[in-house]
Amino acid sequence: MAAVCQPRRALVEIPAPQPKIAARMRRSYLEILSARLAPSPFPRWRNSTSNTKRVHSLDLSIGGVWTGRIEEQQQQQQCEKMDEHHTPLSKQQLVQLIRSLILVEQSQEPRILASDLKYLQEDLQLKKANVYRSIPYSRLGSNRDAHCYRKAYPHLVAFKVSCQEWGQVLLRNKEWDAVLEHTLMAWRYTNELPQWDTANHNALREQCYSILAAHSLTALQHYHPGPDRGRELFRRLNMAQLHSQSIGPCIQELQRIMGCADDSSMDTRNTI
């Protein structure tokens, strides 16, 4: 008896073969990326962050080199334009800038500080320290040459303007004795400024001396010190004359005041 062959059932159905994709023209890699990066008409809000990250990474991977070079060129062009439009300040503009800064400082400080000579002394000490800090000391040659002078010039101007402005404040307040003390104190700090190799570079020092001498002369024209105070001022002014002859008119004015005081004392003695 022949065996009956029964058809065997397949456990997994084999799907029908898919139709072949029609042949297309081969596209370049940049065209494929541009198609992927193109905005779709129906945006996916859930995957927006991932899409942006992918776009950023693709941009860095492909055009990172070119965009970096373009940005560098743009920054270089901007710096060149800024250098073209940026011109260094002249001496007058620098003096006006420093004077405006000191005036702002004076407006912010109360009037009591103007008569406080300790505060003025600290201000002069700071200005002098800034001058020496600006001088490069790691040079093989002299640190008093033209290069070092250019480094210290803004701070020298600040020192000069500080002497001038604070002296004028004291004169406006009619504090004549404080003007003389400020002059002698600033005279000492002016003498401690660096001496430069070029004679013309020491002009700021002489200008400070002239400004301080003018303040002292104005104060002596309105102030008549007593005998003890007059002798003390005369001794200190003579010591200041060793640094500069600009203080000479102040010594002559003080001698005239002391001479008048001596004459008046002699008259009072004769009357007694």
Report pTM. Answer: 0.58
118 within some domain: yes
260 within some domain: yes
Terminus-to-terminus CA distance in the chain, angstroms? 177
254 within some domain: yes
Q: What is the CATH number of the domain that holds 95?
A: 1.20.58.1590
What pLDDT is attached to residue 57?
Answer: 45
- Residues 174, 168: Cα–Cα separation, whole Å: 10
76 within some domain: no
Q: Digits of tens for pLDDT over the chain (272 positions)?
A: 555 666 666 556 666 666 655 555 556 656 666 665 555 554 444 444 445 444 444 444 444 444 445 555 555 555 455 444 445 656 666 666 666 666 555 554 544 445 578 889 999 999 999 999 999 887 677 889 999 999 999 999 999 999 999 999 999 999 999 999 999 999 999 999 999 999 999 999 999 999 999 999 999 999 988 899 999 999 999 999 999 999 999 999 999 998 875 544 434 333 33
- Residues 62, 18: Cα–Cα separation, whole Å: 35
What pLDDT is attached to residue 103?
Answer: 58
23 within some domain: no
Indicate the number of domains in the chain.
Answer: 1
217 within some domain: yes
What pLDDT is attached to residue 5?
Answer: 62
Apex 261 CA angle, 117 and 237, nearest 5: 40
Neighbours of 209 (CB within 10 A): 22
10 within some domain: no
What pLDDT is attached to residue 86?
Answer: 47
- Residues 175, 5: Cα–Cα separation, whole Å: 133
What pLDDT is attached to residue 94?
Answer: 65
11 within some domain: no
Q: How far is CA 140 from the centre of its chain?
A: 27
Provide the domain limits for residue 126: 91-265
What pLDDT is attached to residue 229?
Answer: 93
What pLDDT is attached to residue 119?
Answer: 87
Q: Which residue has the tokens 């009591």?
A: 112
Amino acid at 190: T
